[in-house]
Amino acid sequence: MVERTDVNDTRTRILDAAQAVLTRGGLAAFTLEAVAREAAISKGGLLYHFASKEALTSGMVVRYVELFEASLRQALEAEPTGPGRQARAIVKTTLADSALHSGYKRALFHVAAGSPEVLDPFRAYAGSWLEALADDGLPSGVAAAVCFAADGIWFSRILGLLELSDDQRREIEARLLELTRPGGLS
């Protein structure tokens, strides 16, 4: 009896392989052949799931957005209702995420450098954050400023520009979260 492989498991294995190839060798090493070899499947098997390199890179971006969105939903559920709830959830998720999945994010950076349009799903999702922040009950611009500060840490980590210690990250997070609470700007 032949064991049936779950399509989602194969897609996940391919996406993991794409991340590994990009993280290890950058955009120059990112070929469908290299990804198929890393995923231990044939190139035809890879093409069955992702019809082109562009489809594969788009799949990577969509996967990252889904992972981030799931983390954000959990953080939002843990936040009490009231002003600043959305901003606090985004800050906590972004700063926690800055230390997680760094290989995946670096891989996405390589992809975006070669084809910036591949980030369109992420841009759309980020646009929805800005809309939610506008209705977060904080003074105009506060929620967005706090979240953009957290994004700066996120991007700094991806680009390898600045590595914060856990204590530094926690201190910055605490200060940003203070700004999202009533009287935080006093």
Q: What is the pLDDT of residues 21-42, one digit of tens each?
A: 988 887 888 899 999 999 999 9
155, exposed or middle or buried, with CB in 10 Å at 0-12, 13-18, 19+?
Answer: middle
Q: Is the pLDDT of residue 5 over 50?
A: no
Q: What is the pLDDT of residues 83-110, one digit of tens each?
A: 999 999 999 998 886 555 556 666 677 6
Q: What is the pLDDT of residues 10-19, one digit of tens each?
A: 999 999 999 8
The predicted structure's pLDDT at residue 124: 82
Structure tokens at 182: 């009533």
The predicted structure's pLDDT at residue 123: 82
Structure tokens at 71: 């983390």
Q: With bands split at pLDDT 50, 70 and 90, how would you rate the model's confidence at 1?
A: very low
- List, as one string, the DSSP characters of 40-94: TS-HHHHHHH-SSHHHHHHHHHHHHHHHHHHHHHHHHHHSPSSTTHHHHHHHHHH
Place of tokens 């190139």: 43
Residue of higher predicted confidence among 34 and 66: 34
The predicted structure's pLDDT at residue 126: 81
Note the pTM of the prediction, 2 decimals. Answer: 0.78
DSSP assignment letter at 3: P
Q: With bands split at pLDDT 50, 70 and 90, how would you rate the model's confidence at 74?
A: very high
Q: Is the pLDDT of residue 121 over 90?
A: no
Q: Is the pLDDT of residue 122 over 70?
A: yes
CA distance 108 to 96: 18
The predicted structure's pLDDT at residue 3: 38
Structure tokens at 33: 């052949």
Q: What is the pLDDT of residues 138-180, one digit of tens each?
A: 988 899 899 999 888 887 877 777 778 889 988 999 999 999 9
Contacts of 119 (CB under 8 A, 6+ apart): 61, 108, 112
CA distance 118 to 112: 6
The rounded radius of gyration (Å) of the Cα atoms in the chain is: 19
